[in-house]
Amino acid sequence: MDYLKFSASGAAPGGWNPRAVLDKLRLRRQEISLAAETVNKVVDHLLRGLKSCDSEFKDVGLLRTGSYYEHVKISAPNEFDIMFKLEVSRIQLEEYRNSGAYYFVKFKRNPKGNPLSPFLEGEILSASKMLLKFRKIIKKEIENIEDVIVQRKKRGSPAVTLLIRKPKEISVDITLALELNTSWPASTKNGLPVTDWLGTKVRSSLRQQPFYLVPKHAKEGNGFQEETWRLSFSHIEKDILKSHGQSKTCCEINGMKCCSDFLFYSTGKIV
């Protein structure tokens, strides 16, 4: 179609110039690397602190998701999203108001030694209690790091937001995620429509991976239901991005290249 043909400069006649837009968005790798180096030092310190203290979070690990870890970060070098994962087992999910995304978490059995017992509100694993304790430990650890503060809690947000003030201001959202190595919830059965361009095997493989729950409050009238957990598939998004453009059946085969491909072909590497 004529209106999709590009001139030598990369701009469609009479249209917008995607390459010019991407040039404005693309960040220098050095800028991202310097920011990431600072963030990684803080994250490593927090992980060591969480693992060394005698708390319910001593088994946490780093879940490498987000645009920086996916190597497709093209904007906002001063904003990072980090997930700390905590594996849980023998979990029963109760969907919240047919939302498909929000759930109450219960244990099928609650053995005496369950480290998460202090966070139970009756039968329900309290998202608010768990997030409060997680935030408290992080605040204590941050006291030992110069030029880093914990920002005021945002209502309804599952993240603990840090502000690194030097050498340059960087905002870091740290989110606790429960890792469940079990079948995905029934509400996801018809989701993940990638069969036509990545194939049935890839879709099945993706669905065999664990899924995650973050302490995100569901909207309830004018307020929030503070004990709900929301599904998170950041790791699946990461794998889809890595697979994009690799298949003969890729969605872009007969169309315009996507943003990540523009960045790859114009620089020789994904930023």
Full domain range(s) for residue 253: 2-266
Helix axes 127-142, 29-52, angle to 10 degrees: 110
203 inside domain: yes
Q: How far is residue 253 from each of residues 78, 81, 212, 256, measured CA to CA in Å?
A: 34, 31, 32, 8
Average pLDDT over residues 214-229: 88
Q: For 248, which DSSP code? A: T
The pLDDT-based confidence of 261 (bands split at 50, 70, 90) is: very low
Query: Mean pLDDT, the chain, as a whole number?
Result: 77
Residue 122 is encoded by which pair of tokens?
């009756």
* Tally of structural domains, the chain: 1
Task: Please give the pLDDT value at position 1.
Answer: 41
205 inside domain: yes
Q: For 158, which DSSP code? A: -
What is the phi/psi pair of residue 115, to 5°? -65, -15
Lowest-confidence range among 115-124, 133-142, 184-193? 184-193
Average pLDDT over residues 248-259: 50
Task: Please give the pLDDT value at position 46.
Answer: 95
173 inside domain: yes
What is the phi/psi pair of residue 27, to 5°? -105, 150
Q: How far apart are CA 207 and CA 205, in angstroms?
A: 5
Residue 57 is encoded by which pair of tokens?
């979070």
Task: Please give the pLDDT value at position 102.
Answer: 94
Q: CATH number of the domain at 210, please.
A: 3.30.460.90
- Chain centroid to Cα 165, Å, comes to 23
240 inside domain: yes
Higher pLDDT, 32 or 142: 142
Range of 64-73, 175-184, 197-206 with top mean pLDDT: 175-184
271 inside domain: no
**CB count, 10 Å around CB of 265?**
10
The pLDDT-based confidence of 156 (bands split at 50, 70, 90) is: confident
Peptide linkage before 215 cis (omega within 30 of 0): no
255 inside domain: yes
Task: Please give the pLDDT value at position 75.
Answer: 57
Q: How far apart are CA 117 and CA 105, in angstroms?
A: 12
Of all residues in the chain, what percent carry a pLDDT higher than 90?
37
Task: Please give the pLDDT value at position 264.
Answer: 35
Task: Please give the pLDDT value at position 245.
Answer: 57
227 inside domain: yes
Residue 263 has pLDDT above 50, yes or no: no
Q: Which amino acid is at 123?
A: E
Helices H, strands E: what count in the chain?
Answer: 7, 13
Lowest-confidence range among 2-11, 85-94, 140-149, 206-215? 2-11
Task: Please give the pLDDT value at position 35.
Answer: 84
